[in-house]
């Protein structure tokens, strides 16, 4: 079986069985050529698959996206060509939960706000929203769970109503990006929602879920005090004005961690191997952090532990250096920043380096 894969997919050489012939492509130089010579294609969000980019299936029978989101793929179109599609649902849930928690506490620290005194509205309560909710519960932070389509699907889930959501101090977005239908999420957060006041808005879902123009206007009017964006309406290009106004501006790395990337590759490789009728037994992830490179939990406050082990400030500074570049250069550097910045370990892996849990500040035990 011939597999063509994005060269940045994590640990593929360890995860793909030997009887699958692997060739990689470089997504930085454009859409991969001759993909229909291969039996399977493994992509990330930067490779858009639709009528414009793929005209025929050729040998291609399976496309796997090693990502949670799939708005970069026209799944119906692939299926109409007889191509099966799979993705790595849930792979980055914990990484995104940790990103939002880090952003929340970093904001609280710099703005002198006690997060435990504020109410967080979680929009979208699937994998990433669910992970955030888990942490909010453990930390005793009040929250509102808003997800009307989930409430329609699942008897045991009750969504907050919109008024309850809009009364929160903070909103965090965790929906997929969808353009059509009654529950379309494109610009779900626009002027109507932003006529209410919020201390902080965080979007780590997809650009376009939050209407950036409305967000800027709400900030100008003082209705939104701050916003943190990891995703952008015209990614990989972003608006200089929006980035300038953001409290934290990061290059779509919320879901990045070594553990999430491993899971992303493992899930999609498993689906591919099983699609071709074979059994799959993956190796164990064996990379461990070097203790010397970690911020010592015993010496740090909870806030400091979070942002020193998840360097969102560093990503923010790197992204701001791209402000003012031409769109072409910006897109290239944005992709470069995402692909080539060393990826972090998740907090549990960091904490597990410390066998003596007495030295851990109490709150850090939420990651155990």
Ligand X SMILES: O=C(O)[C@H](O)[C@H](O)COP(=O)(O)O
Query: Of the candidates 2, 44, 199, 348, which one interacts with ligand X according to CB under 6 A?
Result: 44
Residues 6+ apart with CB under 8 A from 313: 106, 248, 307
Give the HSE-up count for residue 254: Cα atoms under 13 Å, Cβ half-sphere. Answer: 34
Strand order in the sheet with 40-43: 21-25, 2-6, 40-43, 62-65, 84-87
The smaller minimum CB distance to ligand X, of residues 225 and 311, is found at 311
Express the helix, strand and coil content of the chain in percent, nearest 5 each: 40, 15, 45
Span from 61-69, 99-107, 221-229, 313-321 in contact with ligand X (CB under 6 A): 61-69
The smaller minimum CB distance to ligand X, of residues 204 and 224, is found at 204
3-state SS of 143-160 is EEEECHHHHHHCCCCCCC
Q: Please, which of residues 256-295 interact with ligand X by CB under 6 A?
A: 256
3-state secondary structure at position 133: helix
Position 45 contacts ligand X (CB under 6 A): yes
CA distances from 52 to 147, 205, 214, 328 (A): 33, 25, 31, 21
Strand partners, 63: 41, 85
Position 131 contacts ligand X (CB under 6 A): no
| DSSP label of 5 | E
Position 129 contacts ligand X (CB under 6 A): no
Position 255 contacts ligand X (CB under 6 A): yes
The smaller minimum CB distance to ligand X, of residues 67 and 159, is found at 67
Q: Contacts with ligand X: how many residues (CB under 6 A)? A: 11
**Residue 5: CB minimum distance to ligand X, A:** 12
**Residue 232: CB minimum distance to ligand X, A:** 12
Span from 18-26, 77-85, 136-144, 248-256 in contact with ligand X (CB under 6 A): 248-256
Q: Please, which of residues 324-343 interact with ligand X by CB under 6 A?
A: 338
In 10 A of CB 164, how many CB atoms? Answer: 14
Residues designated catalytic: 206, 235, 252
**Residue 8: CB minimum distance to ligand X, A:** 7
Query: Of the candidates 12, 35, 60, 68, which one interacts with ligand X according to CB under 6 A?
Result: 68
Are residues 68 and 268 in contact, defined by beta-carbon separation less than 8 angstroms? Answer: no
The smaller minimum CB distance to ligand X, of residues 165 and 172, is found at 172
Position 69 contacts ligand X (CB under 6 A): yes
Residues 6+ apart with CB under 8 A from 318: 251, 337, 341
The smaller minimum CB distance to ligand X, of residues 170 and 268, is found at 268
> Can you give the binding site for ligand X, defined by CB under 6 A?
44-46, 67-69, 92, 252, 255-256, 338
């Amino acid at each position: 079986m011939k597999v063509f894969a994005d060269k940045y997919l994590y640990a593929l050489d360890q995860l793909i069985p030997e009887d699958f012939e692997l060739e990689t492509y470089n997504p930085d130089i454009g859409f991969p050529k001759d993909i229909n010579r291969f039996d399977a294609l493994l992509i990330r969000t930067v490779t858009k698959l639709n009528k414009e980019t793929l005209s025929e299936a050729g040998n291609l029978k399976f496309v796997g996206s090693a990502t949670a989101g799939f708005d970069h793929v026209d799944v119906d179109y692939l299926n109409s060509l007889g191509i099966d599609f799979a993705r790595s649902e849930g792979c980055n849930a914990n990484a995104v939960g940790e990103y939002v928690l880090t952003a929340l506490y970093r904001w609280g620290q710099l703005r002198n706000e006690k997060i435990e005194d504020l109410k967080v509205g979680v929009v979208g309560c699937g994998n990433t929203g669910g992970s955030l909710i888990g942490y909010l519960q453990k930390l005793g932070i009040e929250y509102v769970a808003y997800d009307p389509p989930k409430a329609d699907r699942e008897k045991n889930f009750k969504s907050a109503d919109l008024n309850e959501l809009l009364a929160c101090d903070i909103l965090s977005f965790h929906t997929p990006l969808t353009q059509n239908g009654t529950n379309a999420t494109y610009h779900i957060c626009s002027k109507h929602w932003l006529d209410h006041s919020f201390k902080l808005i965080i979007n780590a879902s997809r650009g376009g879920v939050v209407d950036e123009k409305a967000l800027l206007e709400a900030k100008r009017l003082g209705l939104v005090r701050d916003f943190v964006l990891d995703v952008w309406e015209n990614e990989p290009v972003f608006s200089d004005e929006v980035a300038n106004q953001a409290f934290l501006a990061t290059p779509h790395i919320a879901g990045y961690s070594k553990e999430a990337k491993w899971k992303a590759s493992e899930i999609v490789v498993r689906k591919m191997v099983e699609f071709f009728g074979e059994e799959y037994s993956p190796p164990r992830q064996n990379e461990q952090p070097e203790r010397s490179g970690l911020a010592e939990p015993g010496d740090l406050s909870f806030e400091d532990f979070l942002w020193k082990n998840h360097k969102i400030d560093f990503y923010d500074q790197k992204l701001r250096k791209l402000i003012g570049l031409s769109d072409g250069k910006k897109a290239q550097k944005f992709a470069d920043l995402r692909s080539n910045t060393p990826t972090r370990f998740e907090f549990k892996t960091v904490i597990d380096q410390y066998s003596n849990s007495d030295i851990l500040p109490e709150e850090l035990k939420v990651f155990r």
